């Protein structure tokens, strides 16, 4: 079997860095042994192929491996660039060592997870890639994709015409609030195959033919006659067929209010043609109103997304219950960011806190549907025990979050402690056989901690 041509780059950092110059079909698992790869771009096709192989793997140590592209020319395929960790024009390890170390240390934070379904595997993988790189998932314009855009790495799993599955996955990531979408473009896609390689054309409403000729309609102001332009032709002049007057100045004597179509197939004349969208990918004739209207977004990992990237879906934060007076986690984050800004600018102190319900799986099981009722009761209790300026959210099916503006952490801690004591009494009398632990936290919202860090502290058990 042929082999990749690999040169180990000597360095004083104790890192195994492979410089690959010749691409042959080979087992890429051997690459997991290295700390980073540098791919030579002289053979651009071979380079892209190996890069794709690595990034579409499901083995963490392969798809997450730092990969740099070595090229002295500037013209790099955007796809190659988007899947790499940078383009370098020198083989000096010094230039990339900091980045390699950073990626490695973020990678070390990831815990091993089991992924049961293919969707979860792809989601975990993408989120881990974004987390280790600290980047957004940014679509690139891609004329080779029938969509017109491709997402680095993600699209590698959906290049067999199953684009709708990819959208289902990204919608799912948005709905679970792992991804925060940001508008990039709006597409109109074939309803059959999700291609955006489409020709829009006017067709005859009678026979459906696209073989149409168009002509201006002329409206003669003086006599109000309206007719197709050829009716007005008289030698080099325009003469009104109704009143026989000569038309001289457009805008003064006459105007051209619209077009009239004539079908060369059935000779039908009409003003409102049908619009059709012909798909070059699957040859479907789509009525335009049936095209799929799809937004293309860039995606940013949310704090829940980061948490899930780190620890997998077991700790997934869910918002199953709709509690009155409670806001969604997304809105909660917006308020939190706002409070952080306020703390920075005005030097005011606000606090954030959490109350986490912790109970054994067996007890949770015993409660069954009663659990939702319990959560709703606690939510009611919290709402009554806090002030109207406090902001409340419920996540992860076990965590109440609170922002208490202009309030010291000590005060918030007291409030939460009182709630905790009362709830424990209440639970002891209403559910004597269930052991529920209530964990409370109150921390300051200063200008120094990001909302991610604050949420991280609040949801950690
Ligand atoms: Zn026709
Ligand atoms: Zn006239
Ligand atoms: Zn199509």
- CATH number for the domain spanning 12: value is 3.40.50
Mean pLDDT of all residues in 36-46: 94
**CA-to-CA distance for 49 and 368, rounded, in angstroms?**
51
Task: Give residue 321's pLDDT.
Answer: 59
C-alpha of residue 270 to centroid of ligand 2, in Å: 22
C-alpha of residue 257 to centroid of ligand 2, in Å: 15
C-alpha of residue 194 to centroid of ligand 1, in Å: 29
Residue 115: is its pLDDT beyond 80? Answer: no
Of 89, 108, 127, the residue that ends a domain is: 108
Of 83, 108, 133, the residue that ends a domain is: 108
Task: Give residue 312's pLDDT.
Answer: 78
Q: Is the dihedral of CA 284, 290, 296, 301 positive or negative?
A: negative
Look at the chain and report how many structural domains it folds into. Answer: 4
% residues pLDDT > 70 (the chain): 97
In terms of domains, do 77 and 123 share one? no
Helical axes 370-385 vs 409-430, angle rounded to 10°: 140
C-alpha of residue 260 to centroid of ligand 1, in Å: 13
The first and second tokens of residue 19, run together, are 């410089």
Ligand approaching nearest to the C-alpha of 266: 1
Ligand approaching nearest to the C-alpha of 291: 3
C-alpha of residue 261 to centroid of ligand 2, in Å: 22
In terms of domains, do 173 and 225 share one? no
The separation between CA 26 and the C-alpha centre of its own chain, rounded to angstroms, equals: 33
Task: Give residue 317's pLDDT.
Answer: 44
C-alpha of residue 238 to centroid of ligand 2, in Å: 10
In this structure, is residue 159 part of a structural domain? yes
List, for residues 318-367, the tens digit of each pLDDT value: 445 577 788 888 788 888 988 888 888 887 789 999 999 988 878 887 88
Ligand approaching nearest to the C-alpha of 210: 1
* Burial bucket for residue 295 (CB in 10 Å: 0-12, 13-18, 19+): exposed
Ligand approaching nearest to the C-alpha of 244: 2
C-alpha of residue 199 to centroid of ligand 1, in Å: 19
Give this prediction's pTM: 0.66
Task: Give residue 315's pLDDT.
Answer: 42
C-alpha of residue 232 to centroid of ligand 2, in Å: 10
In terms of domains, do 190 and 251 share one? no
Mean pLDDT of all residues in 367-391: 87
Q: What is the CATH number of the domain that holds 438?
A: 3.30.70.270
C-alpha of residue 320 to centroid of ligand 1, in Å: 55
User: What is the helix (H) or strand (E) element at residue 8, kind and residue range?
Assistant: strand 5-9
Place of tokens 């002289």: 42
Domain of residue 381, residue span: 317-459
C-alpha of residue 265 to centroid of ligand 1, in Å: 5
In terms of domains, do 250 and 146 share one? no
In terms of domains, do 153 and 289 share one? yes
Exposure string of 19-56, with b = 16+ CB inside 10 Å and e = fewer, is bbbebeeeebeebeebbbbbbbbeebebbbebbbbbbb
C-alpha of residue 234 to centroid of ligand 2, in Å: 14
Query: Which of 3, 40, 34, 2 has the alpha carbon at shortest distance from 19?
Result: 40
Asked whether 416 and 442 are in contact (CB, 8 A), the reply is: yes
Greatest CA separation found in the chain?
102
How many other CB atoms sit within 10 Å of the CB of residue 372? 14
In terms of domains, do 227 and 198 share one? no
Asked whether 141 and 109 are in contact (CB, 8 A), the reply is: no
C-alpha of residue 279 to centroid of ligand 3, in Å: 5
**CA-to-CA distance for 267 and 450, rounded, in angstroms?**
68
List, for residues 62-107, the tens digit of each pLDDT value: 999 999 999 988 789 999 999 999 999 999 999 899 999 999 999 9
Of 60, 77, 108, the residue that ends a domain is: 108
Residue 396: is its pLDDT beyond 90? Answer: no
In this structure, is residue 363 part of a structural domain? yes
C-alpha of residue 260 to centroid of ligand 2, in Å: 19
Please, what is the average pLDDT of the chain? Answer: 90
**CA-to-CA distance for 415 and 398, rounded, in angstroms?**
19
**CA-to-CA distance for 70 and 18, rounded, in angstroms?**
12
In terms of domains, do 262 and 397 share one? no
Asked whether 54 and 65 are in contact (CB, 8 A), the reply is: yes
The first and second tokens of residue 163, run together, are 């684009």
In terms of domains, do 277 and 144 share one? yes
Task: Give residue 397's pLDDT.
Answer: 79
In this structure, is residue 426 part of a structural domain? yes
In this structure, is residue 209 part of a structural domain? no
In terms of domains, do 294 and 364 share one? no
C-alpha of residue 1 to centroid of ligand 2, in Å: 85
List, for residues 135-186, the tens digit of each pLDDT value: 999 999 999 899 999 999 999 999 777 899 999 999 999 988 899 999 999 9
In terms of domains, do 135 and 67 share one? no
List, for residues 116-141, the tens digit of each pLDDT value: 678 888 999 999 999 999 999 999 99
% residues pLDDT > 90 (the chain): 61
Q: Which residues surround ligand 1, an ion (CB under 5 A)?
A: 204, 206-207, 209, 263, 265-266, 268
In terms of domains, do 366 and 251 share one? no
Task: Give residue 316's pLDDT.
Answer: 45
In terms of domains, do 437 and 389 share one? yes
Ligand approaching nearest to the C-alpha of 231: 2
In this structure, is residue 33 part of a structural domain? yes
Asked whether 438 and 420 are in contact (CB, 8 A), the reply is: yes
C-alpha of residue 105 to centroid of ligand 1, in Å: 67
Residue 39: is its pLDDT beyond 90? Answer: yes
Exposure string of 257-266, with b = 16+ CB inside 10 Å and e = fewer, is eeebbbbeee
The separation between CA 242 and the C-alpha centre of its own chain, rounded to angstroms, equals: 61
Mean pLDDT of all residues in 230-234: 92
List, for residues 419-442, the tens digit of each pLDDT value: 999 999 988 888 888 888 899 999
């Amino acid at each position: 079997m042929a082999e990749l041509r690999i040169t180990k780059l000597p360095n004083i950092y104790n890192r195994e860095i492979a410089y690959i110059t010749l691409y042959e079909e080979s087992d890429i698992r051997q690459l997991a042994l290295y700390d980073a790869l540098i791919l030579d771009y002289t053979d651009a096709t071979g380079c892209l192929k190996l890069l794709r192989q690595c990034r579409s793997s499901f083995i963490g140590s392969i798809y997450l491996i730092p990969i740099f592209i070595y090229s002295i020319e500037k013209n790099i395929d955007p796809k190659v660039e988007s899947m790499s960790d940078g383009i370098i024009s020198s083989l000096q390890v010094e230039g990339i060592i900091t980045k390699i170390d950073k990626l490695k240390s973020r990678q070390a934070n990831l815990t091993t997870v089991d992924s049961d379904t293919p969707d979860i595997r792809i989601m975990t993988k993408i989120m881990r890639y974004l987390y280790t790189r600290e980047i957004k998932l940014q679509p690139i314009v891609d004329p080779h994709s029938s969509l017109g855009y491709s997402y680095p790495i993600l699209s590698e799993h959906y290049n067999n015409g199953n684009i709708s599955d990819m959208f289902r996955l990204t919608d799912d990531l948005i709905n679970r609030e792992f991804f925060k979408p940001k508008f990039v473009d709006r597409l109109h896609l074939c309803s059959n195959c999700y291609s955006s390689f489409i020709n829009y054309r006017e067709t005859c409403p009678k026979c459906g033919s696209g073989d149409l000729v168009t002509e201006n309609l002329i409206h003669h102001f003086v006599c109000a006659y309206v007719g197709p332009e050829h009716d007005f032709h008289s030698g080099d002049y325009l003469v009104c067929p109704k009143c026989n007057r000569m038309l001289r100045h457009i805008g003064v004597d006459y105007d051209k209010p619209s077009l009239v179509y004539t079908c060369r197939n059935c000779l039908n004349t009409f003003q409102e043609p049908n619009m059709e969208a012909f798909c070059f990918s699957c040859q479907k004739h789509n009525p335009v109103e049936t095209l799929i209207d799809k937004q293309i977004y860039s995606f940013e990992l949310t704090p829940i997304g980061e948490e899930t990237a780190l620890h997998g879906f077991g700790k997934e934060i869910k918002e199953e219950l709709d509690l009155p007076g409670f806001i969604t986690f997304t809105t909660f984050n917006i308020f939190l960011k706002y409070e952080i800004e306020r703390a920075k600018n005005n030097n005011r102190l606000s606090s954030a806190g959490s109350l986490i319900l912790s109970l054994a799986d067996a007890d949770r099981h015993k409660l069954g549907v009663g659990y939702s009722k319990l959560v709703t009761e606690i939510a009611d209790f919290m709402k009554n025990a806090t002030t109207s300026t406090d902001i409340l959210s419920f996540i992860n099916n076990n965590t109440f979050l609170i922002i208490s503006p202009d309030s010291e952490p000590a005060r918030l801690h007291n409030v939460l402690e009182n709630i905790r004591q009362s709830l424990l009494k209440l639970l002891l009398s209403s559910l004597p056989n269930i052991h529920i632990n209530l964990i409370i936290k109150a921390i300051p919202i200063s200008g120094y901690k990001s909302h991610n860090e604050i949420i991280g502290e609040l949801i950690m058990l």
